[in-house]
Structure 1
Amino acid sequence: MAVGREYPLTCVIRAWDRSKPLLFCPAMNTAMWEHPITAQQVDQLKAFGYVEIPCVAKKLVCGDEGLGAMAEVGTIVDKVKEVLFQHSGFQQS
């Protein structure tokens, strides 16, 4: 959610068809994740009805150890499937 990288993301979100689900997976270092602005931004996205796939705690590339790592691929895929099934009106087996 760095300011310099926000522009493409916010353009995509503004152009998004709000009748379709949008999922987001935060990923950043622990200091950024714990900053109050991040919580406000995540809360705003969730208030729009977008689905957060929460970050996880682990050793990060920057050397930090804590929350901020992107969720595991399997977790992301499972959540995308769940949301798509809900959106299309089908039950997941």
Structure 2
Amino acid sequence: MVVAPLDANTLAKVANGICDNLLTCVIRAWDLSKPLLFCPAMNTAMWEHPITAQQVEQLKGFGYTEIPCVVKKLVCGDEGRGAMAEVWTIVEGVKRILEEWEVPRQS
């Protein structure tokens, strides 16, 4: 599973076990033996808040893989860390995980 983007609200819900919508319910029921990649995306002030780091670590503790956010101009007009990783970065992360899992490729 790939969750892209993972906003601050959903990050907080998943880290705390709240499942009040389809996405959070699916994540809560996700088979932990299978990979789950998450791509944080939020305002820089939200990203830099100490609770965000704790919540990201909580997800990593579940065995989920973070594809880190990047620095760029955000929708709000600010420039800073918090933007979702570029699509090609996410695709490369998925490819790497699939290779680790030795998933056969279709031609």
Q: TM-score range by the shorter chain?
A: 0.7 to 0.9
Given candidates 1, 9, 12, the residue that maps to 1:2 is 9
2:52 partner amino acid: T
CA distance in 2, matches of 1:68, 1:89: 31
Once the two structures are superposed, residues 9-34 of structure 1 have per-residue CA deviations (whole angstroms, 9 ceiling, x without a partner) of: 43222110111100000000100000
**Post-superposition offset of 1:88:** 2.7
- Structure with greater proportional helix content: 1
**Post-superposition offset of 1:89:** 6.7
Q: How many residues align?
A: 89
Normalising by structure 1, we get a TM-score of 0.86
CA distance in 2, matches of 1:2, 1:79: 23
Q: Any unmatched runs of 5+ in structure 2?
A: 1-7, 14-19
Q: Any unmatched runs of 5+ in structure 1?
A: none
2:9 partner amino acid: A
Q: How does 1:33-44 map to 2 (within 5 A)?
A: 33-44=47-58
- Structure with greater proportional strand content: 2
Identity %: 73
Q: How does 1:1-93 map to 2 (within 5 A)?
A: 1-2=8-9, 6=13, 7-8=20-21, 9-88=23-102
Normalising by structure 2, we get a TM-score of 0.75
CA distance in 2, matches of 1:36, 1:13: 23
CA distance in 2, matches of 1:61, 1:38: 19
